[in-house]
């Protein structure tokens, strides 16, 4: 497990054994039950989470009571309400657990401490933040330029596992379409494939 996490970090930034032990000492391991909520709208956001095993979602309830999915997080992904986490504000979104999960937990103060003592880790989080920016920008472009079918196909080709693991109505929320439309798209897809 420690090894898996180290691999994750070292995809971006190589570390000596001592450096990794220093980094790792700031994290706590935690099990999260299915349906459990780790960040609730209106509450402080203490931590950022790295998913070792399982599946989480970050979602927003709009004024009409509709749920919108901001992101999923599978193995190897980070998740929190960044806006609230960084600025010590109250959460504006919920983060909860779709499958029983194991995560590594990092508190705000531990993250700050780690970054001030390790240039490499400050750099790591900077790169992660930039990658997140790029991903969000790509998502904006997709929402601006693609219709439902194109968005569905894009997700299908980029994250086929999500489609299998996540209830369809949540996939619909993530793509910005109704569950009925998504259902029709998946039927169409199956027929298209046969032909």
Partner DNA sequence: CGCGCGATTGAGTAATTTCAAATCTAGTGG
Partner DNA sequence: CCACTAGATTTGAAATTACTCAATCGCGCG
Binding site for DNA (CB under 7 A): 147-149, 167-169, 176-184, 186-187
- The verdict on 158 binding a second copy (CB under 8 A) reads no
Which of 28, 29, 68, 113 binds a second copy (CB under 8 A)? It is 68
Residue closer to a second copy by CB (options 36, 137) is 137
Minimum CB separation of residue 97 from DNA in Å reads 13
Nearest to 171 by CA among 76, 57, 63: 57
Residue 90 binding a second copy, by CB under 8 A: no
- What string of DSSP letters covers 147-169? -HHHHHHHHHHH-HHHHHHS-HH
Q: Which is nearer to a second copy, 2 or 88 (CB)?
A: 88
Contact 60, 68 (CB under 8 A): yes
Among 62, 147, 190, 191, binds a second copy (CB under 8 A): 62
CB 42 to DNA: min, Å: 23
Closest CA to 97 of 170, 27, 26: 170
Nearer to DNA, 116 or 183 (CB): 183
Angle at 188 between CA 156 and CA 143, to 5 degrees: 45
Q: Does 40 help bind a second copy (rule: CB under 8 A)?
A: no
For the purposes of burial, counting CB atoms within 10 Å of the CB of 38, is it exposed (0-12), middle (13-18) or buried (19 or more)?
buried
Pairing, β 67-73 against β 37-39? unpaired
Pick left, alpha or beta for residue 138 (phi over 0 → left; psi -120 to 50 → alpha; otherwise beta): alpha
Q: Which residues bind a second copy (CB under 8 A)?
A: 60, 62, 66, 68, 70, 82-83, 86-87, 122, 126-127, 129-130, 132-134, 136-137, 139-141, 143-145, 173, 176
């Amino acid at each position: 497990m420690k090894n898996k996490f180290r691999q994750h970090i070292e995809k971006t930034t190589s570390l000596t054994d001592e450096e990794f032990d220093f980094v790792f000492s700031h994290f706590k391991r935690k099990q999260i039950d299915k349906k459990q909520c780790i960040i609730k709208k209106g509450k402080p956001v203490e931590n950022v989470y790295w998913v070792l095993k399982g599946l989480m979602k970050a979602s927003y309830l709009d004024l009409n009571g509709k749920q919108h999915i901001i992101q999923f997080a599978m193995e190897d992904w980070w998740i929190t309400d960044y806006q609230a986490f960084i600025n010590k504000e109250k959460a504006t979104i919920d983060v909860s657990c779709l499958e029983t999960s194991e995560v590594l937990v990092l508190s705000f103060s531990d993250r700050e401490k780690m970054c001030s003592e390790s240039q490499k880790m400050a750099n790591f989080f900077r790169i992660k933040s930039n990658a997140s920016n790029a991903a969000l920008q790509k998502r904006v472009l997709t929402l601006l330029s693609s219709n439902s079918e194109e968005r569905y196909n894009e997700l299908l080709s980029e994250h086929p596992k999500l489609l299998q693991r996540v209830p369809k109505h949540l996939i619909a929320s993530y793509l910005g379409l109704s569950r009925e439309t998504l259902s029709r798209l998946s039927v169409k897809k199956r027929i298209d494939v046969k032909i």
